Structure 1
Amino acid sequence: MLKHQVHNILAATSVAEVWDTLLSCLTDIGFHHVLYGFTRFHTSSGFGDDKDHLFLTNFSAEYMQGYFLEGRYRHGPMVRWSIDNVGACPWSWIGENLETFTEEERKVVAFNQASGVTCGYTIAFPHSLKRAKGAIGLSLEPHVGTQEQADEIWARWGEELELICGVAHLKLISLPLPKRILTKRQREVLEWIGDGKTVADTAQIMGLNKATVEKHLRLARESLSVDTTAQAVLKAAMHNQIFTF
């Protein structure tokens, strides 16, 4: 089963295909709720704009409203653990280290306890770039499972789970970020500018006038939430929006 799922992930051409394949594998094994997150823009002061993150989950909308949209994830103990570590960690780590948590982290723990999201594992992925951070949380059914059950699943499937989650992660970060999708014209003008062409050069190559090229560049900057075209080229490349097939 694992070999087949890995092949499907490697052959996927969209975020949705990768995610559906991974979810199918994880739920079959026993982790019924999953939360994946990745950013290339983490700094010591925080995570930056939520639109620059890739978050995927099958948790309920109610839970994600409180955990993600209201910003609790920024103070999640397992999020902090995944920033500082690589590998897998059982959620029993939270209870073992509760006395070291900040007040904000304790509030997140209380929120998760009230939501029944207390039993599972977190996998933090290695990265060569300092600001790139990615992790996935695997949870049993809220209010139902126990950490002992999660540990039993991990004892049997842990090595395979790290492998398939790692492959899915590498595939996901190679695909365009859905929240920052540019139009075909915006991508094309950024590619030419990224290749060192001027606005006039780009207009001539594309058969447009300079004003139209400038408009596409402005809209690309607005979509990417940046101030300069150079920043737009860099961010679009980091989001796999340009120089792709």
Structure 2
Amino acid sequence: MQNVIGNVDRLTKAASVEELWCIHQQLMAECGFDRLLYGYTRYRTSNGLGDPRDWVILSTQKPEYMKAFIDDGFYHNAPMIQWALENDGACSWRWLTETASRGNLTPAEMRVMAFNKSMQVTAGYTVSFRSVSQRSKGAIALTAKPGLTQDQVDNMWAENGDAIIVMNNVLHLKLLSLPYSGERKLTTRQREVLQWVGDGKTTQDIAVLLGLTPATIEKHLRLARQTLDAETTAQAILKAAFYNQMFGADSR
């Protein structure tokens, strides 16, 4: 792939998640991957990945694919997700067929493979990003254009794989620095009161600073907790920080 430095420069200069994702779609399509599914969680535990509503999910897959894979829970038994959780780097989907041929996939995993085949999600690569903590994990599934075989995709990867990995790593690192809310978008006032709490201010302090009543401040904190599905204000501050919704250049 030509002009890798120029492509990386475009990614790093993106000012929003939407702009970044649009650029990355174009770049990956040029590489032969027209359907992407990126996921990142900071709520990984020993027995799960947390609430999907707390994940960063970006996709160019069809809505019906996403409904089955995420909403209906197919991801629980997706072999490539399990591979991504246990590994860093890139993996050809050839691993799937080889593992299945050895009889090493469960019936539930085989059902996910059959579903993917029905949706023409059969050839591609998964890139798993190095985790920054035990609680976090990110990966992206790169699905090749319909009609391409895994042999053809592996040949493409042999030629451009290093550049593709670099661009996906840049995408991932850039996403970690950009505000992303998904279903958890705070209002300006909710973000503002959380920021003041994060600065160590009491409800009374914030009321004076904003010219509001303490009851109104408590209301905004309660709504912020509800929006972020947080049990406490401290947890709400943590989640807002994870989503880069606090202390941004335009936050106050």
Q: Which residue of 1 aligns with 2:38?
A: 36
Shift of 1:68: 2.0
More displaced 10-residue stretch of structure 1: 169-178 or 16-25: 169-178
Residue 176 (str. 1) matches residue 174 (str. 2): no
Out of 96, 108, 125, the residue aligned to residue 112 of structure 2 is 108
Q: Which residue of 2 aligns with 1:166?
A: 169
Shift of 1:128: 2.0
Q: How many residue pairs align between the two structures?
A: 244
Contact 2:41 2:50 in 1 (8 A): no
SS of the equivalent of 2:140 reads strand
Matches within 5 A, 1:13-24: 13-24=15-26
Instruction: Read off the aligned partner of 2:169 and give its amino acid letter.
Output: G
Q: Which residue of 1 aligns with 2:68?
A: 66
Shift of 1:5: 2.0
For residues 49-104 of structure 1, the C-alpha deviation after alignment (integer angstroms, 9 at most, x for no partner) is 11101111111122222222211112110001000000000001111212222222
TM-score w.r.t. structure 2 length? 0.93
Contact 2:190 2:220 in 1 (8 A): yes
Instruction: Read off the aligned partner of 1:75 and give its amino acid letter.
Output: N
Out of 90, 94, 97, the residue aligned to residue 95 of structure 1 is 97
Residue 218 (str. 1) matches residue 222 (str. 2): yes
Structure with the larger helix share = 1
Shift of 1:2: 2.2
Gaps of at least 5 residues in structure 1 are none
For residues 141-183 of structure 1, the C-alpha deviation after alignment (integer angstroms, 9 at most, x for no partner) is 23x1100111011001100000010001111121122312111
TM-score w.r.t. structure 1 length? 0.96
Shift of 1:4: 2.0
Gaps of at least 5 residues in structure 2 are none
Q: Which residue of 1 aligns with 2:134?
A: 130
- Measure, in 2, the Cα distance between the counterparts of 1:13 and 1:77: 34
Over the matched positions of the two proteins, sequence identity in percent amounts to 45
Instruction: Read off the aligned partner of 2:225 and give its amino acid letter.
Output: R
Q: CA RMSD in A?
A: 1.2
